[in-house]
Amino acid sequence: QVQLVESGGGSVQAGGSLRLSCAASRYTASSYCMGWFRQAPGKEREGVAAIYTVGSITYYADSVNGRFTISQDNAKNTLSLQMNSLKPDDTAIYYCAATYRDYGRCSRAETMEFWGKGTLVTISS
C-alpha cells in the first residue's frame, strides 16, 4: 500500500499561481508513473498532468498545457504541480495518484493504483 498526501491547495484570484505537492510513502523512483487529476462539482474526474518515471516523459491535458508543470523529485519522494495563469475553470479538488505497474495510459484514472485524499483549489474571477 502507498500513502499519498497532497498539500498546497487554496484560494487565489484568476491569473494567480499555486504549487501543489504530493508526498509518497514509497520510493517514487520505482513508480511507473504519477499524475495529478481533478474533479470539479458535477463533473467527472479528469487527468490534468502525468509523468512517466523512466525518461521523465510528461503528459498535459489541453486545458492546462503551457500553464501547468508537473515534476517529480525522487530524492524526496514527492510529486509537484506548478499552476500558473489560473482560471476559474481550474477550480476543483486536485488528487495525486500513482501506479507502480504499467496498466495503460497514465492520463486515465483507471490506470492509477493509489490515490491521495485531494486538496481543494478555488480560483475566483
Per-residue tens of pLDDT for the chain, all 125 residues: 999 999 999 999 999 999 999 999 999 989 999 999 999 999 999 999 999 999 899 999 999 999 999 999 999 999 999 999 999 999 999 999 999 999 889 999 999 999 999 999 999 99
**DSSP H helix total and E strand total for the chain:** 0, 11
Given this model, what pLDDT does residue 103 score?
A: 86
Grid cell of 71 as nine digits: 515534476
Name the residue with cell 514509497. Answer: 26
Look at the alpha carbons of 49, 44, 120, 85 in this order and tell me if their dihedral is positive or negative: positive
94 burial (CB, 10 Å; 0-12 / 13-18 / 19+) is buried
β-pair partners for 83: 18, 68
